[in-house]
Amino acid sequence: MSIESYIPKLVRASLDNDHRTVRSICTRLIRRLKDSHPDVAKEIADALAYHGIGANTLRSVGIDGGPLDAESRKSLAVVEEPVDVNKPVLSVKVERLIDDFIAEREQAPKLIAAGLNPPSSILLYGPPGVGKTYLANYLSGVFKLKFVTLDLATSISSYLGKTGQNIKSVIDYARQEPSLLFLDEFDAVAKKRDDMSDLGELKRIVNVLLKELEDWPSHSILMAATNHPELLDRAIWRRFDRTIELELPGENERLQLLQEQFQDVNDDRTKNLLLILANLTEGLSCADVCKLSERARRKAIISNEDLTRIIFQELASFTDKRETIFYKKFSKVARDCFQLSVRELADWLGKPPSTVQYYLKDKDEKERNK
């Protein structure tokens, strides 16, 4: 059958609103055009995806269009296949909440039989780098759901005027078939409230979100994340099945992260030093601890130097937003572990030797008094 002969059939089916036939003709056209005219094939695929009638069809020919902006045809969200990532390191309390969420979803048929819905939405809040995005990614792997990310901050600024409509398209896409929709920078819907010109638009967006949250299909999960929970409307909070605060990691969690990062290290000295490091990394986020460890591992490989010494050296200059108590503890531990002179310590810390002497003084005085 020639390509031209599909045209009258396609016109008839479109005029009749016969989506099934349109979809089937389009699938054949995409297959025929994929190699000779990839751009045309992609455009047909995008059109199907945008109208929400083609996700299965597209996948059958190896294309996942993802939701698109109607005019610019730009992608509105990032669609990724689920991947298995390590379980994030969480406080005991948060881990229990997450395990319960997983268990309840795994028992969904039982709940539904009893007239109850399984939980399907989570609002995560907490400072940067505590694993909000990572946790959402992890859950998409646990439930084998496509990971659909919509960054509200960028979508609101780049599609102002039709953001509500675009958010709706992404949500429709995520509802259409099982997926985990992750709304990042969720506070962006609230942030601009003081800007009167955007008020109408933002109200519409919030209304769209509230409505969607109300009857979110149980086969999909909606997760939202924010660093600024105080900006969110009470009405929004109420709609989420779970609201979970991720805090900066405590000493136990930092130790767990360090042990994961240095799991190949077997010598007892390094293992013991990780206990000390877990204490010295107070105030750092999980992302910071991972970054610090990765930097040290990289340097140790390149320089062939002692890994523990490098970790401490990296920690000394990792951030300058430190309290004196850190410098005092650090100076004493580093001096004792690596037999550093005051000058070397001063170099590591980027401080004058006299200041380092002051950091070291306390304990020495105490020891003298013993």
Ligand X SMILES: Nc1ncnc2c1ncn2[C@@H]1O[C@H](COP(=O)(O)OP(=O)(O)OP(=O)(O)O)[C@@H](O)[C@H]1O
Binding site for ligand X (CB under 6 A): 88-90, 128-134, 227, 257, 286-287, 290
- Measured in residues, the chain has a length of 370
Decide whether 26 or 290 has the Cβ nearer to ligand X. 290
Alpha-carbon gap, residue 200 to 106, rounded angstroms = 40
Q: Which of 24, 133, 259, 357 binds Mg ion (CB under 5 A)?
A: 133
Decide whether 132 or 146 has the Cβ nearer to ligand X. 132
Tokens of 93: 């309390």
Tell me which H or E stretch contains 205.
helix 199-214
Instruction: Write down the least CB distance from residue 87 to ligand X, Å.
Output: 8
Site for Mg ion in 186-205 (CB under 5 A): none
Instruction: Write down the least CB distance from residue 136 to Mg ion, Å.
Output: 8
Instruction: Write down the least CB distance from residue 128 to ligand X, Å.
Output: 3
Tokens of 195: 């800007």
Instruction: Write down the least CB distance from residue 153 to ligand X, Å.
Output: 11
Decide whether 65 or 131 has the Cβ nearer to ligand X. 131
What single letter denotes the amino acid at residue 146? K
Residue sitting closest to Mg ion (CB) = 133
Candidates 216, 142, 205, 211; CA nearest to 174 is 216
Alpha-carbon gap, residue 90 to 80, rounded angstroms = 24
Angle between helices 307-318 and 268-280 (to 10 degrees): 10
Which span (32-40, 42-50, 92-100, 131-139) binds Mg ion, by CB under 5 A? Answer: 131-139
Decide whether 50 or 147 has the Cβ nearer to ligand X. 147
Instruction: Write down the least CB distance from residue 138 to Mg ion, Å.
Output: 13
Residues sharing a CB contact under 8 Å with residue 135, sequence separation 6 or more, in sequence order: 88, 90, 98, 124, 246
Alpha-carbon gap, residue 9 to 21, rounded angstroms = 9
Alpha-carbon gap, residue 338 to 17, rounded angstroms = 77
Decide whether 134 or 359 has the Cβ nearer to ligand X. 134
Decide whether 172 or 245 has the Cβ nearer to Mg ion. 245
Count of beta carbons in the 10 Å neighbourhood of residue 283? 14
102 binds, among ligand X, Mg ion, none (CB under 5 to 8 A by kind): none
286 binds, among Mg ion, ligand X, none (CB under 5 to 8 A by kind): ligand X
Instruction: Write down the least CB distance from residue 127 to ligand X, Å.
Output: 7
Residue sitting closest to ligand X (CB) = 131
Instruction: Write down the least CB distance from residue 313 to Mg ion, Å.
Output: 29
Decide whether 44 or 289 has the Cβ nearer to ligand X. 289
Burial 230-261 (b: 16+ CB within 10 A, else e): eebeeebeebbbbbbebebbeeebbbbbbeeb
Chain residues that interact with Mg ion, rule: CB under 5 A:
132-133
